[in-house]
Structure 1
Amino acid sequence: MAVMIPESIQSMATTGERILFQTLKNHLDDDYIVYYEPKIKEFRADFVIIGPYLGLLVLEVKDYTVNSLHSLNHDQWLIHTTSDGLQTVKSPLKQAMDYMFTIQNVLKKDTNLINHDGKYKFKLKFPCGYGTVFTRLSQEQCITHNLYDVIDPMFLLTREEIDSEKDRFSEENLIEKLLSMFKVPFRLKEPLTHNEINAIRYHLFPEVRVSGHYQQTTPYRDQLLLSLHDLQTMDLHQEKLAKQIGDKNRLIRGVAGSGKTLILASRVRIMKQEHPDWRVLVLSYNISLSRSIYSMIRAKMEMPVDLDAAEEHRDSMKGITVRNFHEWLKKDLRISEQSIPDYLEKLEKGEAILPTYDAVLIDEGQDFEPEWFRLVSFLLNPETYSMLLVEDRAQTIYPRKRSYRQDTGLDFRGRSKVLQINYRNTAEIITFAWNFFQKHSGAEGVTTGEIEGQEIIPPRSTRRKGPEPAIVQASDWKEEIQTVVQTMKKLHQHHHVPFEEMVILYRANSYNRIVSSIAFELNEADIPFQWITENAESKRSYEKEDGKAKISTIDSSKGLDFQAVFIVNIDNMPFALEEDKTREAALLYIGMTRAIEYLMISYSDESEYTKYFDEVVEQRQRIQSQSKL
């Protein structure tokens, strides 16, 4: 079964398009990717098919009947239309050919996708073809009305060739004709690799790019949400979710590092492409995350379709508002959280008016109060009702009762998707973090992920490997932080990890011995740093790519990621003033899953958690001793 993007066809599609969509989905192998009406540069082909042994194929679909056809030649057709009478249009085959040449010109700019010697030197290393589909014409009608005189039969599919309900339908014939729709008749001896298919997607669809520039990957970025490979693209599941727009409300539930926020940002770009006049609101709980989301969306919006094109000078964020929830209350509604109940009462009585948004996207949905959702639901344009909720209940650190149907008035049953694969972390890091979370959250041994009514999604790791998370047992706090700082210098000098890709996380949220000691040692080591959580202003001004290492509470690190994460003072967890130990376990799990490649846990005293990590160290030592025997 082929991968279809979007996952389902839009309601406005014609009957013939729906039949072809289902036929391609059911009869092509699962390593084929089929795009329906993808926007490539300034045009939309009806179908674009990418297959490892096929290459790339463009199909133009027409619902013409015999009565539609008046006079035909190779370039132009004169057709009857019900609305405009006789109309001159480009030949469907020429239309498909033009789309194909446009795609070729885009892809030829990537030297990794062209041949460098031989018969096809400077040509794409895979064939690009094109063809037409007439969903309401039979082969007999094509012969009778001389349609094959202007379109070679090998480039034309008729109704009985695409409709599996017809007696004359043959899967073998369909596949053979698709493989033959190429002017240059050569078959691939070696299939397209995963990286080559990702490169094709990267160039054709800017919304799937993880980074804003096509460049050689660097050691600290080469595995960030790369679907196990080097090209910085979303995986196909993520792309399907991002492109399934125009379908009202949606819920995306995903594990840490599964690309939830990336999908949200990509979806904003696609929405604005489809509906430039839409007003879009993006909300999160975390202040630092809202700044990160803003930067991600802005990068998506400013990303040119053609990577060689001149940069456009325009207001890329026009019509897009990105806020953390409390900032939105203060700046946009000019109310406080305490006044929400009274404000809701006024809204229900029609005594207050809210701004209207055509789409609302919420990250960290698990941390939103029911009243917040009720308030946000009043914002939705009743003609669009487009709301996207993104959540991970394993990262719940605030006690919330959850009924989305009751809170928002929208039914998400059958409209939710799960992202279970963790792309951010190495297998070692996510296993380490999940084992801890299971042990200390009450989820140990639970395969369904159900904890006191809260559904938790167990993460599935990618095959990407890395070093085991380091556990540092120091004799005192000074030795602990010095060890951390020395490790940061080594990663920078020997592994070329930029300081901006490092963060030190701590539990307490006050300027105490923790932060002052960290700042002192970083200054002594000449490591530039920024204390993200010093105050609300420092959170709002957060910029990751400023050349500085970061210091942050674990709470404020939600949604962020760094190449190297150092969680210090673990002996301060579970926090003495926190009664809910499940929350503490979730908090440390969040901190650990911020790490892309390197994770260090350190402590210099004793707590429930340090005893657990002591046992992990002892277990590692036993395994190491046994391996030497």
Structure 2
Amino acid sequence: MAYMIPETISRLASVGERVLFQTLKQYLPSDYMVLYKPEIDGRRPDFVIVGPDLGIVVLETNDYEKNALVHVDQHEWQVHTSNGVSVVENPLKEAKRSAQHVAEQVKKEDKLIVRSGKWAGQLKFEIGFGAVFTRMKTEAFIQGRLFEAINKELVLCRDEMDPEEDGFSTDRLIEKLHNMFTSWNHRWYILTNEDIRAIRYSFYPESRLSMTYKPAASYQDQYLLSRHNMTMDLRQDSIAQHLGDKHRLIRGVAGSGKTWVLARRTKILAKAHPDWNILVLCYSIPLARNLEQLIERMIGEPEDLLDLLEMINANGLRAGDQVKIRGFHQWLQNDLQTREEAIPALLGKLEKKQAILPTYDAILIDEGQEFEPEWLKLLSYVLNPATQSLLIVEDRAQSIQKRKNSLFQDIGLNFRGRSKILTVNYRNTAQIVRFAWDFYQRHSVLKHSVVQGSTKGVEIIPPQSTRRSGPEPMIKRFGSLHEEIAYIAAQIRFLRDERGIPYSDMLILYRVKDRYDVSYVDVIRRGLKAAGLPFGWLSAEDGETQLTEPTEDGIRISTINNVKGLDFQAVFIVNMESMPYPLEELEEREVSLLYIGMTRALEWLYLTYSGESKFTLYFEELARKRSSPIASETRMG
């Protein structure tokens, strides 16, 4: 999965640009960087692709259709438009000019210039260019003899860039990009991470100057205690029971039972108001499925004998009877028949009272820090104004994206005096809590923002662990990823056979799925297959075989940023040298991601690597300092 700048495409982008954006993101290697419409010294090429083995390729897109073309040649094209026939430049010429403009900008970086020899003064790498036809397939080009007017090697057609088309393949896409060069002046050159950073600096010189913290897309940590029978203290139950009516806010540290309180509160409201229409929302569909299981189980469990008799007389109470549990985008699609892109227009209609939406007597939001202001504004329209029963559960302690507006501005409700803070981590053992927090304290630029008991800003609330103990996290270095997976396979068998942990309660995490010269997921897949172990991916987003049911037996595999809201008895984080991710401008995000990954583990945590990075050097230093027990575990063979 390529590194995208920006991470999401603008709502104003054309359909074809959206398809190409998602294709490049999903199918290019993880060490490729793709920039969408970067402003480069006054010019905005549509796409700029940077890859270690590629160099730079500049792509310009258009949405011409075959029957709209009146006449084409190598210089000008006549095209039917709404205003009649227009004469436009051959699309390839625009792409070439953009590439030349990019080359001029990149040449300003001394690090990217050959210093001596035959090619002294030239770029170390080549810059290619191409034209993308988002609505025309290769067949149309052949039938219309369009390749006589435009070099076919420098053209990307619909069937070559759309995964939904029969002719699409990853290999074909990458091969096309590698052939979009008109000349090769010198020997093959592989861009280093420093080269790629220099290219990025040449496009965005301000990023070199600013070392201050800047908001970015969040990878906040949220925790779901749905799959494990954890004991909460009386405070959690008391909060759920006596939260009070109308709107409330709950913040908490990792593993503090925030989601448990939300589920308990859902049951209380459903029982107290059987006529209410209740909506429970979270960010992701996988988390929504787990949240649904937790709430249904909680609703189905009687509080006491009297409660049991009432449930029998009422033929039981099920979550589906009055409670809808959805991922936000799932709710938009299934219940409102709309999409996120249409929210601004829908809000405009609601303000003018030109639209009618369902009304919910109570709304409960998990992962509230993930919700955009427009999402919250939309929810304010579907909340019954007579009840104002809104519960937002969030974890800004892990957030690197400060909320731009207050909740009052987004929803119109004041949460002052209506918030609670949970500080005790119930999920992880004391060893994992200490291990992960020490790492966070050492590397986070926000460490000076740690406060006790504040509800303002983005302060970090330090976790207090329970007295539950377990094994120390294990650190081990290997000669290759193949050796890492072989070791992990042996540990998985030990945990299964000796500790009775099911495969479905074990998770393997990685930061990046591939590189231009190696596929990490292939190594993981082959290693587990060779060991005869069942496995599958948590999310179809990674393009792998997905384990869809929580009860389906098999080791779970995922990128770190796809496990928000989940926890497992045993977690293995592999290929640790890929963190911090060299293409990531904000190291703070990498710190947050690794902290999230480590705190997925309820009891067993393994960290393995076969290379070197800032993070692995820290863990090696830690292992040397701790003679027992981590250092001894490090020496385990």
Post-superposition Cα deviations, 1:285-305, rounded to whole Å, max 9, x if no partner, equal: 122211110111111122244
CA contact 1:437–1:443 (8 Å) conserved in 2: no
Counterpart mapping for 1:489-528 below 5 A? 489-508=493-512, 513-528=519-534
Post-superposition Cα deviations, 1:519-572, rounded to whole Å, max 9, x if no partner, equal: 222222222222112239999974333222211121221111111111112211
Residues 537/316 of structure 1: CA separation in 2 closer, same or farther (3 Å cut): farther
In structure 2, the partner of 1:593 is: 599
Letter in structure 2 aligned against 1:543: E
* 1:496 positional shift: 1.4
Post-superposition Cα deviations, 1:569-623, rounded to whole Å, max 9, x if no partner, equal: 2211122332222122111111111111011111111222112112111211499
Counterpart mapping for 1:204-283 below 5 A? 224-226=229-231, 234-283=232-281
Letter in structure 2 aligned against 1:386: S
Post-superposition Cα deviations, 1:94-133, rounded to whole Å, max 9, x if no partner, equal: xxxxxxxxxxxxxxxxxxxxxxxxxxxxxxxxxxxxxxxx
Q: Please give the alpha-carbon distance, in whole angstroms, between the structure 1 residues aligned to 2:348 and 2:294.
A: 36
Residue 351 of structure 1 aligns to a residue whose secondary structure is coil
In structure 1, the partner of 2:66 is: none
Residues 290/495 of structure 1: CA separation in 2 closer, same or farther (3 Å cut): same
Letter in structure 2 aligned against 1:526: G
Q: Pick one of 478, 482, 489 that aligns with 2:486.
A: 482
* 1:324 positional shift: 1.1
Counterpart mapping for 1:324-363 below 5 A? 324-363=327-366
CA contact 1:574–1:581 (8 Å) conserved in 2: yes
Q: Pick one of 285, 299, 302 that aligns with 1:301.
A: 299
Residue 476 of structure 2 aligns to a residue whose secondary structure is strand
Q: Pick one of 304, 307, 319 that aligns with 2:322.
A: 319
Post-superposition Cα deviations, 1:482-522, rounded to whole Å, max 9, x if no partner, equal: 11121111111111111111111122367972222222222
Q: Please give the alpha-carbon distance, in whole angstroms, between the structure 2 residues aligned to 1:604 and 1:591.
A: 18
Letter in structure 2 aligned against 1:262: W
Residues 442/330 of structure 1: CA separation in 2 closer, same or farther (3 Å cut): same
Whether 1:289 aligns to 2:287 is yes
Residues 529/576 of structure 1: CA separation in 2 closer, same or farther (3 Å cut): same
Letter in structure 2 aligned against 1:324: G
Residues 372/590 of structure 1: CA separation in 2 closer, same or farther (3 Å cut): same
Residue 390 of structure 2 aligns to a residue whose secondary structure is strand
CA contact 1:266–1:297 (8 Å) conserved in 2: yes
Letter in structure 2 aligned against 1:574: P
Q: Pick one of 435, 439, 443 that aligns with 1:436.
A: 439
In structure 1, the partner of 2:88 is: none
Residues 313/547 of structure 1: CA separation in 2 closer, same or farther (3 Å cut): farther
Letter in structure 2 aligned against 1:225: M
Counterpart mapping for 1:576-615 below 5 A? 576-615=582-621
Letter in structure 2 aligned against 1:492: R
CA contact 1:506–1:553 (8 Å) conserved in 2: yes
Q: Please give the alpha-carbon distance, in whole angstroms, between the structure 2 residues aligned to 1:284 and 1:300.
A: 18
Letter in structure 2 aligned against 1:425: N
CA contact 1:470–1:600 (8 Å) conserved in 2: yes
* 1:429 positional shift: 0.2
CA contact 2:296–2:318 (8 Å) conserved in 1: no
Letter in structure 2 aligned against 1:500: S
Counterpart mapping for 1:27-66 below 5 A? none
In structure 2, the partner of 1:457 is: 461
Q: Please give the alpha-carbon distance, in whole angstroms, between the structure 2 residues aligned to 1:241 and 1:327.
A: 29
Structure 2's unaligned 5+ residue stretches are: 1-224, 633-637
CA contact 2:398–2:460 (8 Å) conserved in 1: no
Post-superposition Cα deviations, 1:403-442, rounded to whole Å, max 9, x if no partner, equal: 1111111111111001100011011101111111122221
Q: Please give the alpha-carbon distance, in whole angstroms, between the structure 2 residues aligned to 1:306 and 1:532.
A: 37
CA contact 1:293–1:322 (8 Å) conserved in 2: yes
CA contact 2:485–2:524 (8 Å) conserved in 1: yes
Residue 320 of structure 2 aligns to a residue whose secondary structure is coil
Q: Give aligned pairs, total.
A: 400
Residue 393 of structure 2 aligns to a residue whose secondary structure is strand
Residues 396/509 of structure 1: CA separation in 2 closer, same or farther (3 Å cut): farther
Q: Please give the alpha-carbon distance, in whole angstroms, between the structure 1 residues aligned to 2:316 and 2:261.
A: 25
Letter in structure 2 aligned against 1:469: P
Q: Please give the alpha-carbon distance, in whole angstroms, between the structure 2 residues aligned to 1:292 and 1:323.
A: 11
CA contact 1:397–1:584 (8 Å) conserved in 2: no
Residue 225 of structure 1 aligns to a residue whose secondary structure is coil
Residues 562/622 of structure 1: CA separation in 2 closer, same or farther (3 Å cut): closer
TM-score where L is the length of structure 1: 0.59
Q: Please give the alpha-carbon distance, in whole angstroms, between the structure 1 residues aligned to 2:508 and 2:489.
A: 9
Which moved further from structure 2: 303-312 or 572-581? 303-312
In structure 2, the partner of 1:470 is: 474
In structure 1, the partner of 2:569 is: 563
Residues 434/399 of structure 1: CA separation in 2 closer, same or farther (3 Å cut): same
Q: Please give the alpha-carbon distance, in whole angstroms, between the structure 2 residues aligned to 1:395 and 1:530.
A: 28
Q: Please give the alpha-carbon distance, in whole angstroms, between the structure 1 residues aligned to 2:331 and 2:615.
A: 37
Residues 523/378 of structure 1: CA separation in 2 closer, same or farther (3 Å cut): same
CA contact 1:286–1:556 (8 Å) conserved in 2: no
Residues 272/443 of structure 1: CA separation in 2 closer, same or farther (3 Å cut): same
Residue 294 of structure 2 aligns to a residue whose secondary structure is helix
Residues 538/237 of structure 1: CA separation in 2 closer, same or farther (3 Å cut): farther
* 1:249 positional shift: 0.6
Identity %: 48
Please tell me the root mean square deviation across aligned C-alpha atoms, in Å. 2.9
Residues 622/429 of structure 1: CA separation in 2 closer, same or farther (3 Å cut): closer
Residues 625/555 of structure 1: CA separation in 2 closer, same or farther (3 Å cut): closer
Residue 253 of structure 1 aligns to a residue whose secondary structure is strand
Residues 332/211 of structure 1: CA separation in 2 closer, same or farther (3 Å cut): closer
Q: Please give the alpha-carbon distance, in whole angstroms, between the structure 2 residues aligned to 1:298 and 1:382.
A: 27
